[in-house]
Each structure stands twice: as C-alpha cells, then as structure tokens.
C-alpha cells in the first residue's frame, strides 16, 4: 500500500541502504517484469495496435481524400510525414508513460501485481503528464526525427551522421530525467515530479548511473548496434544477400526485445530506485 504523501511502498527488504544496489535493482526489475507479464504485454500490444490504426488511417486519408496535386508536392508530403511522426509519438508517449503507472501499481500493491484493466483509467487521469514526460525524456530522438527528412533532402547522409552524434545525447537526457517517471504518480504535478527527479539524482547519482548503464547494455545497446548496421555501408553493400537478411532479422529481434522487455524493465528498475531512496526518509 502507499505511505503518507503517496510514496510507493513494496514488501522488498530495505535494510541495506548505503550499499551499491545496482545489480539488485535489475534483478528485482526482471522478477517483477515476469510476475506482471500480462498487463505489461497488454500495454505494449495496445500501443502497437493504436499506432498501426493511426498511421494506416492517415495514409488512407492522404491517398483517397487529398487531391493528386497536393500529393505531388514535396512540401506537402513532408507535412504528412510530420503528421505521422507526431501521431506516433503521441501514442508512444501515452502508453510508455503508462509503464511507470504499471510500475507504481506493482510497487504499491501488497502482492506486487498490476491490473491490465486499469490502463485507460490511468491514461484519463495522468495522460497529460505522460505526454510531457515522454517529450522531455525522448526529446533528442524526437528532434532528430523531425529534422531527418529535410536534412536528407538537402544533403544525403547528414541525418545518419547526426544519428551517431545524437545517441550519446539521448542516453544522457534519458538518465537525467528518468526518475521523474516514478514521481509522476506520487507528486501533484509534472513540475513537482521533475523537482523530485533531481532530488533523487542528488541522493545517489552513482547508483543511478551504474544501473542505467547496465540496463542500457542489456536492453537497449543491442538495438542501437543493429540500427548502426542497417544505416552502415555494409548493409548497402550486402543488399539482397544473406548478410543483409541477417542484419534485418537482428534489427527486428532487437527492436522487439527493447520494446517488449527493455522499456518495461527499465520503468520497474527506475521505480525500484525511486522507492529505495525516498521511502526510508518519508
């Protein structure tokens, strides 16, 4: 159950608070992920279903309703692509923010379980917070996706170069703001959640950094490497061969791993850190 002030409680043992708990954070996150596989998978599958319906609906509207001269204009095509991007991010931010809601439900329940049926109820109450949180957390990636199209029109290859430079920035941004996620359900507003994020970082920055790096290596780096392979000259050189097929297969597998496993585990780990650093002092 929740403590006074809305702090997340869990029946995990909190006796050794000064030690390096990074490995325990990941282990507990993995255990809770397996225990709550159904609500987590339901959330991720709903995300994919709504994304698919939204993108298909936009494409159908463009190809069947808009006149041919409109579709022939590069600037109009760019606007449509941006609309698709913004729609995708809107859905993505909502439901990936909901992962922190699931983590909250897991940590605040006595049996450490969440309910899938609470998804839309949670979004009605906290949806605006999840949107702002996602925009800030994934800001560099959103920016890159917006400018990628125009940059490739101006000079092919610029976007790929920016991609290499943007990943370290995106990772740093992710670490800097990820602890606002667990605070979204505890604090009264988005501003208070981000203030709590920085208080959490000041309490144990070393643990947050180490845990984030370990989680990133396990859950996110494989997909990042597969992205680099897909945009690399190796892929273009091997196009149509078994090698290119293996690269595409690796891309799909690592993308699914990141989306269905990495992101939920990361939300649980972040909430576990938030819990352990704040609960004893509340």
Quick: pLDDT tens for 172-226: 898 999 999 999 888 878 889 999 999 999 988 999 999 999 999 999 999 888 8
The total number of structural domains that make up the chain = 1
The DSSP output letter for 84 is: H
Residue 99 to residue 41: CA distance in whole angstroms: 10
Q: Is residue 176 part of a domain?
A: yes
**Rounded distance between C-alpha atoms, residue 279 and residue 276, angstroms:** 6
Q: What is the pLDDT of residue 271?
A: 92
CA distance linking residue 136 with residue 195, whole number of Å: 14
Classify residue 108: in a domain, yes or no. Answer: yes
CB 255 within 8 A of CB 221: no
Q: Residue 220 belongs to what domain range?
A: 34-281
Q: Is residue 70 part of a domain?
A: yes
DSSP for residue 259:
I
State how far the Cα of 266 lies from the Cα of 20, in Å rounded to an integer.
18
Whole-number Cα distances in Å, 164 to 146, 231, 262, 281: 16, 10, 21, 41
Residue 11 lies in a domain: no
Output the pLDDT for position 148: 64
In the prediction, which pLDDT does 11 show? 46
Q: Give the orientation angle of helix 74-108 with respect to helix 139-154, to 10 degrees.
A: 160
For 151-170, the pLDDT digits (tens) are: 655 555 566 677 777 788 88
Collapsing DSSP states into helix, strand and coil, what is residue 282? coil
Mean pLDDT, the chain, rounded, equals 80
Report yes or no on 8 lying in a domain.
no
Among 207, 183, 186, smallest CA distance to 194 is for: 183
pLDDT at site 248? 87
φ, ψ of residue 162 to 5 degrees: the values are: -65, -35
Give the pLDDT score at 139. Answer: 80
State residue 158's pLDDT score.
65
Q: How many CB atoms lie within 10 A of CB 111?
A: 7
Q: Using CA atoms, how far apart are residues 217 and 7, in angstroms rounded to an integer?
A: 30
Distances (CA, A) of 258 to 19, 49, 219, 263: 29, 17, 6, 6
Residue 102, in any domain of the structure: yes
Residue 161 maps to a domain: yes
Q: What is the CA radius of gyration of the chain?
A: 20
Residues of the chain with pLDDT below 70 are 1-20, 71, 109-116, 145, 147-160, 235-236, 238-240, 279-282
Residue 26 covered by a domain: no
Whole-prediction pTM: 0.82
- Note the helical H segments in the chain: 22-35, 37-64, 68-72, 74-108, 119-137, 139-154, 158-177, 180-183, 190-203, 205-219, 221-230, 233-237, 242-257, 263-278
Which pLDDT does position 14 carry in this prediction?
40
Sole residue written with tokens 């990141």 = 258
């Amino acid at each position: 159950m929740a403590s006074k002030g809305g702090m997340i409680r869990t029946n995990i043992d909190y006796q050794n608070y000064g030690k390096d708990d990074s490995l325990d954070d990941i282990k507990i996150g993995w255990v809770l992920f397996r225990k709550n596989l159904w609500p987590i998978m339901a959330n991720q599958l709903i995300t994919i279903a709504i994304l698919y319906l939204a993108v298909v609906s936009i494409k159908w509207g463009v190809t069947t309703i808009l006149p041919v001269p409109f579709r022939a204009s590069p600037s109009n095509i760019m606007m449509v692509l941006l609309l698709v991007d913004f729609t995708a991010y809107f859905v993505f931010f909502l439901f990936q923010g909901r992962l922190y809601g699931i983590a909250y439900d897991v940590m605040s329940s006595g049996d450490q379980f969440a309910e899938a049926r609470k998804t839309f109820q949670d979004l009605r109450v906290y949806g605006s917070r999840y949107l702002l949180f996602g925009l800030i957390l994934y800001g560099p990636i959103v920016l890159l996706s917006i400018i990628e199209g125009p940059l490739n029109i101006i000079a092919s290859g610029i976007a790929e170069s920016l991609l290499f430079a943007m990943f370290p920035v995106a990772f740093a941004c992710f670490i800097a703001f990820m602890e606002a996620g667990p605070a979204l359900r505890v604090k009264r507003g988005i501003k208070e959640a981000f203030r709590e994020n920085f208080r959490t970082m000041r309490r144990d920055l070393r643990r947050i950094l180490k845990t984030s790096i370990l989680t990133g290596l396990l859950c996110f780096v494989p997909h990042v490497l597969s992205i680099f392979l897909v945009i690399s000259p190796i892929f273009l050189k091997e196009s149509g061969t078994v090698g290119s097929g293996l690269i595409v297969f690796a891309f799909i597998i690592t993308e699914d791993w990141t989306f269905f496993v990495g992101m939920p585990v990361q939300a649980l780990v972040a909430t576990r850190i938030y819990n352990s650093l704040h609960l004893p002092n509340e």
